[in-house]
Structure 1
Amino acid sequence: MKKTILMICLGFVATQVVAQDPVPIKPRVLISTDIGGTDPDDNQSMTHLLMYSDLIKLEGLVSSPSYGQGSKEEILRMINLYEKDFPKLQGHNKDLAEPDYLRSITKQGRKGGAPFRGYQTSTEGSEWIIKCAKEKNDQPLWVLVWGGLEDLAQALHDSPEIRNRIKVYWIGGPNKKWSANSYAYIVENFPDLWFIEVNSSYYGFFSDNNVPDSVKSSDYYDRYINEAGHLGKDFKNYYNGEIKMGDTPSLLYMLDGNPDKPMRESWGGSFENIQHSPRIVLNKPSSLKDTVAFCSILEFHLQGPKTNIPKDSVCFWMEVPYGKSVQKWPGYHLGNGEYVIRYIPKKAEILHYKFNSKIPELDGLKGSIVIDNHWPGKKHESDYVLGNNWYSDKSDKEFYDGKLQGGKTIQKWRTNVLMDWAERWNWLR
């Protein structure tokens, strides 16, 4: 009778949580995050990271806000909350990271985007990336980027030899839009970098398509978190507790199977090798006859007066409607009357824009372009050619979650991941 009950219980558990595949060795991880900025999903992902810190060797927490008001103080605030819950958490798992250690590896990176060249000056964060990458260790340093690439680009510029000692998983998409110059610097100068560029698959993590009610975005907090501990009470402050956690797939990728094999299935997605990063160079505004893939680099090179404006300084703006507001993107003077701006659209849409400047030849220019949702799309002569270890969202239609390329490669594991996390929230009861 006891055996029968046990088998029934085990069967029930198996339907709820499918254990991830074992990771060959505990990975060395550094997180670069724009936490504290305009999107509070980084706070949700930071909570998840802290509660799973036993499964990785965490070596750095770098604040890299290319946009917004993020800072390392916000990381430290999250660690303080974790510290209050630490006795209960440690009672269930002795391997969780010590709060004081986490504080010691928290560093401030660049605040704001890089100029057109893609880098500027070193920061505490970029220097920490270099230090960790150069540590004597047979294992690579995994740099998981939840925001802009400015500190990573700076580290590569200052110490290009680390290219062979790091591997990158980047949550791109909207972050790519804010970090266009640093991204362009990296793909142009380090195409041989080992890099997973995730522009859309990560959306699958907060997709409610085909998931049970118990783990729907709006239900999970009340069912499984419900103010558990100080971290649980704080979690309610972000999207009213609704699950987003768009950066979490980068960590999930490290927790499930062999991270050296990006084409495998894993909690953090499954990816394919890409050979080019699309870059379209225009010498005049585009029209609706032009179509590009989302997350492509649009690079406008415009001619204007030869002036004394310093090279690589902002002197005009690209204005793009965003809901009821307008977003502005900086354009630069390259010298000798050449003016340039990079813009990376984050989604499929019909994009309208205009240029604003005190320079008459640039002021008031308008254009439109069609953005489709198939990345990286067709090739162009001006594309950046990539090496053998650059990976991105699977392009086959069978992996789309609605309009989201590659979304199903992560969405299919959502229930397993969240039920696994529910067990850890229970530690705080």
Structure 2
Amino acid sequence: MEMKRREFLNRAAWSATGALMVLGTGVGTAAHAFAAPEPGHRDGAGHDRHRPRVLVSTDIGGTDFDDFQSMVHLLLYADRLDIEGLVSSPYGPGTKADILRVVDAYEHDYRNLKTYSPHYPSPGRLRAISKQGAFDTATSAGFGEPTEGSRWIVKCARRSDSRPLNVLVWGGIDDLAQALHDAPDILPKLRVYYIGGPNKLWAVDAYNYIETHHPELRIIESNATYRGFFTGGDQTGEWGNEAFVEQHIAGHGALGDFFAAQSAQVKMGDTPSVLWYLNGAQDPVQPSWGGQYVRVWDGRKTVFNRLTTARDTAEVYGVVEFALKVPEGYSARNTARMMIDNRTAGPFPAAVNEGRVLRFRFSPRDPKVWPYVIQSDHPDLDGLSGAITATPPSAERAGTPSTMHPYWWTDDQDPAFAESPWVGAKHVSRWRLEYLSEFATRMDRCKVPAS
């Protein structure tokens, strides 16, 4: 096993070096949009300028265990990044306390980690930059009141530092939407890597606000590509999702044991956003461990003015709105919401009364049929039902870059790069042995100090 591991570590080192040499030649809109500053300089705060500034917004402790795993991975690479913020955001019951649980494990391993690099931040530093964001998803407007987390995003973005602020969104995009609403001047400083898909379902109103009011945001919207981290690729032997945890994570310091306690298998769906800054030139059209993307296209929102059936289609990962006529007698005292796909735990798109229509909004997170039923205290609405079928965009539409979103990138729709049905996922899974080999070496740092 050790010989095989060294072989893949060598491959990873060659791949990283080769990729940087090739990707560094990228020019044009993509390269400029995500370019890093010249290495070897420091800003006024003494930070190494070659390390990217990173702020993570996470729904850790919410509906899925994988944010805990991705946070462990992030902290193991904290010497490669200039982490400026860890923000607890929707959806679900998670809070800042869940971030601090991972920091507590990091503190146990910090003595060993810092022998490998002086750039590992102290546990105290990580606690100081951990902030509480919104507890609930945004209103239909896409924003609400400022939070500690949204204010921290604004503060970091406004710092006197020539480097962009890279915001990695692992959950709801609500705190970023609030920050942009409160301080639109920060937009040119931001580079966003958004793990969408299910997170877009939870936070569709905040997403809709950003997409319509800040179309020039520089953003990668990874709705399916990220799934390549745990789907596809070589999963034989020690590289399987369960075998990797057993052999390379469990028993590797406090962080390894914390990781394994969350699940006996690798998921880490948010980790491609971190890999993006560890391998590659941050050019969306070029290969990288964090994926490879294409310009987004127009026409991703579908609006229906009636109830629909499964014969009606809308774009998967797009925004769907139902603008239904307000029934007679419906007043401000009435409420209505949609239960989507029999999801009894929500989220429930709530009706917004616009005078003549009630508007419901959601985002289909998978390519399939999505049934819905309206729940209301108004008898003419309660029990109304329907369905839509979420489908991929046509090749013609997906191949025509948006005229409204010049710096917005999303999943490659080419079937050759899909881990069916997840489009673009092979752009991540193809590197599985490389990034897992590197991760295994990082986990070893938790066990023993540098010699």
- TM-score, normalised to structure 1, is 0.90
Structure 1: gaps spanning 5 or more residues: 1-6
Letter in 2 for 1:422: A
Question: Is 1:139 the equivalent of 2:163?
Answer: yes
Report the more deviating stretch, 171-180 or 412-421.
Answer: 412-421
* Cα distance, 1:276–1:8 mapped onto 2, change above 3 Å: closer
Instruction: Name the counterpart of 1:250.
Output: 273
Q: Which SS does the other structure have where 2:149 is aligned?
A: helix
Q: CA deviation at 1:222?
A: 1.4
Instruction: Name the counterpart of 1:38.
Output: 63
CA RMSD of aligned residues (A): 2.3
Instruction: Name the counterpart of 1:428.
Output: 446
Instruction: Name the counterpart of 1:406.
Output: 424
Structure 2: gaps spanning 5 or more residues: 21-35, 40-49
Verify the 8 A CA contact 1:36 1:42 in the aligned structure 2.
yes
CA distance in 1, matches of 2:294, 2:347: 33
Verify the 8 A CA contact 1:307 1:337 in the aligned structure 2.
no
* Cα distance, 1:8–1:152 mapped onto 2, change above 3 Å: closer
1:308-345 C-alpha deviation (Å, 9 max, x unpaired)? 518xxx8211112358x564513233342421110111
1:222-243 C-alpha deviation (Å, 9 max, x unpaired)? 111122111111112222x200
* Cα distance, 1:8–1:327 mapped onto 2, change above 3 Å: closer
Of all paired residues, the percent bearing the same amino acid is 36
* Cα distance, 1:364–1:191 mapped onto 2, change above 3 Å: same
Instruction: Name the counterpart of 1:393.
Output: 411
CA distance in 2, matches of 1:211, 1:163: 40
Q: Which SS does the other structure have where 1:236 is aligned?
A: helix
Matching of residues 20-31 of structure 1 within 5 Å: 20-21=16-17, 25-31=50-56
CA distance in 2, matches of 1:184, 1:129: 19
CA distance in 2, matches of 1:378, 1:109: 40
Matching of residues 12-411 of structure 1 within 5 Å: 13-15=9-11, 18-21=14-17, 25-65=50-90, 67-239=91-263, 241-259=264-282, 261-276=283-298, 278-304=300-326, 305=328, 308-309=331-332, 315-322=335-342, 325=344, 327-372=346-391, 374-375=392-393, 386-411=404-429
One of 411, 418, 422 as aligned partner of 2:436: 418
Verify the 8 A CA contact 2:342 2:371 in the aligned structure 1.
no
Verify the 8 A CA contact 1:277 1:386 in the aligned structure 2.
no
Figure out how many residues of one structure are paired with residues of the other and give that number.
412
* Cα distance, 1:177–1:11 mapped onto 2, change above 3 Å: closer
Q: CA deviation at 1:273?
A: 0.7
* Cα distance, 1:53–1:288 mapped onto 2, change above 3 Å: same
Letter in 2 for 1:75: I
Verify the 8 A CA contact 1:307 1:336 in the aligned structure 2.
no
Verify the 8 A CA contact 1:29 1:58 in the aligned structure 2.
yes
CA distance in 2, matches of 1:250, 1:147: 12
Verify the 8 A CA contact 1:295 1:375 in the aligned structure 2.
no
Verify the 8 A CA contact 2:302 2:315 in the aligned structure 1.
no
Verify the 8 A CA contact 1:319 1:353 in the aligned structure 2.
yes
Q: Which SS does the other structure have where 2:16 is aligned?
A: coil
Instruction: Name the counterpart of 1:3.
Output: none
Q: Which SS does the other structure have where 1:214 is aligned?
A: helix
1:39-89 C-alpha deviation (Å, 9 max, x unpaired)? 010000000000000111111111012x21110111111111101110011
